[in-house]
Amino acid sequence: MGRQRSQIEVVEQQISVVDHDMEILLDELGRHLLNLPQPVVTEDTAQDYQHLEKEKSILDDYDAHIINLQQIGQSLNDAHARIIQLKESIRHSQHALRVVYGRLGVISWEEATSHVLSDVIRKEVPIIDEMQQKVATLKRTRETASQRTRESASIFKIPNKFREAMISHKLSKFTKGHEAFFIELGNSIAASSCIKQLHSNAAFQLDTEYHAHIREIGVWEEEIAILQQRISSDKGKLEQEGVAGSFERKILDLQGLRKQQAEQVRRLSITYARKVCAQENPWKAVDVNADTLRCYDQIRRHERIRAQLEVKIEELSMEQQIGELISLIEQDEERIQHLRQLIDQHNQQIEEIQKTISQHRERIVELKKTLASSLEREEFL
C-alpha cells in the first residue's frame, strides 16, 4: 500500500506538470487565435473572444506606453551621460589651451624684453608695452632702493632693505611667476590671430595646437547644445505622457498595472482556448497558420498524456484498494484464528468444568447412599 501511495504521488506530480504546461499552451493558443485574420468564434466562444480582445488591447497599450517611456528615459540618460563626457573633454582641452596661452605669453614677453616683438602684436596687444613699462619702472625703483640701502646710515639700512625686497618680489612675479598674466597675454595674442607673428620656432606648433583645441571645443559645445535641445524635447514628451515627477516611478507604476492586466489576459486566453479545443473540429471554417496548429497538436498530446496518467492513477488506486482489502482480510482471518483459539480454550474449560460437575454428582450419589445406609442402621437399632 505504501508503494502504491508513493507511486500515486509521483503520478499526481506529473499531472501537475502537465496541467501547468497545458495552461501555457492554452494561453499561447488563445493569443495565436486572437491574431488570426478571421476569428474563431461560435455562439459558445463569441463573448470570451470579445472580452479577450478588449483586455489584450489594454495590455498592448500598457506595453506601448512603457516602451515609449523607457525609450525617452534612455534618451535622457544617454544625453546626460554624453554631456558629462563632453564637458570633461572640454575641460581637458581648456586646460591644454591654458598651457598654450601660458607658453605664448612667456614667448611674447621674452621677445618684448629682447626688443624683437612684432609691431603687429604690440598694436593688437598693447598690454605688453604697458606691463613692460611697469617692469622697467620697478627695475629703476629697485635700483634706486638698492643705492639708498648702500648709501644710507646703519639705522636706515633695514627699512631700505625691506623696501628693496618688496620691489624685487613684485618684479619677480612679472618676470618669473606671473602665470595668470602670461595666460591672459597668450589668450589676447591667440584671439588677435597673431601667434604666427612671434619669432619663436615654437609659434607654428602652438598655433596648430591652439586651433585644434578651439575646433574640438567648438564641436563639443555644438553637440552639447544639440543634446540640451533633445533633453528639453524629451522632457516635453514626458509631460505629454503625464509624467510630472520621476519617469522611473511612473514606469514602475505602469509595470505593476501591466502585470495585473497580463494575468487577466492570461486567464481569459486560457478560458477561450479551452472552449475552442472542446469543439469537435474548430478549424473547419477557418484558415489557421502553422504555429496555431502546432500549439493545438501539443495541447491534444498533453490531453492524451494526462488521460494516460489518470488511468495510471485509477490502476494504482485499485491496486491500493486491493491491497487494503487483502490487509483487512488478513486481519479478519487473524481475528478468527484468535477467536478459534479462545473457543478451544473455553471448550477445554467447559469440559473440565463438566468433568468436575460429574465428579461432584458422583460424590453426591455416594454420599446419599452412605446416608441412606446410616439411616437404616439407626432404625434397626
Q: What is the pLDDT of residues 293-318, one digit of tens each?
A: 999 999 999 999 999 999 998 988 88
Residue 31 domain-assigned (yes or no): no
**Residues 229, 100 share a domain:** yes
**Residues 301, 153 share a domain:** no
Residue 102 domain-assigned (yes or no): yes
**Residues 75, 214 share a domain:** yes
Residue 108 domain-assigned (yes or no): yes
**Residues 333, 199 share a domain:** no
**Residues 356, 276 share a domain:** no
Residue 36 domain-assigned (yes or no): no
Residue that is last in its domain, among 250, 282, 314: 282
**Residues 298, 259 share a domain:** no
Cα(346)–Cα(339) distance, integer angstroms = 10
Q: How many structural domains compose the chain?
A: 2
Query: DSSP state, 152?
Result: S
C-alpha cell at position 67? 516602451
Residue 28 domain-assigned (yes or no): no
Cα(261)–Cα(258) distance, integer angstroms = 5
Q: What pTM does this model have?
A: 0.63
Residue that is last in its domain, among 267, 282, 297: 282
Residue 172 domain-assigned (yes or no): yes
**Residues 253, 224 share a domain:** yes
Cα(361)–Cα(353) distance, integer angstroms = 12
Q: What b-and-e string marks burial along 63-101, b requiring 16 or more CB atoms within 10 Å of the CB? A: eebbeebeebbebbeebeeebeebeeebeebeebbbebb
**Residues 220, 91 share a domain:** yes
**Residues 347, 307 share a domain:** yes
Residue 29 domain-assigned (yes or no): no
Residue 73 domain-assigned (yes or no): yes
- Domain interval for residue 306: 1-18+283-381
**Residues 208, 118 share a domain:** yes
**Residues 260, 139 share a domain:** yes
**Residues 287, 186 share a domain:** no
**Tell me: the pLDDT tens digits for 322-341?**
888 888 899 999 999 999 99
Q: What is the mean pLDDT of each run of 10 residues along the chain (381 residues)?
A: 79 93 94 88 88 94 90 90 96 95 89 86 81 68 61 53 60 64 89 91 93 95 94 84 74 91 95 90 81 92 93 88 88 92 92 92 90 77 60
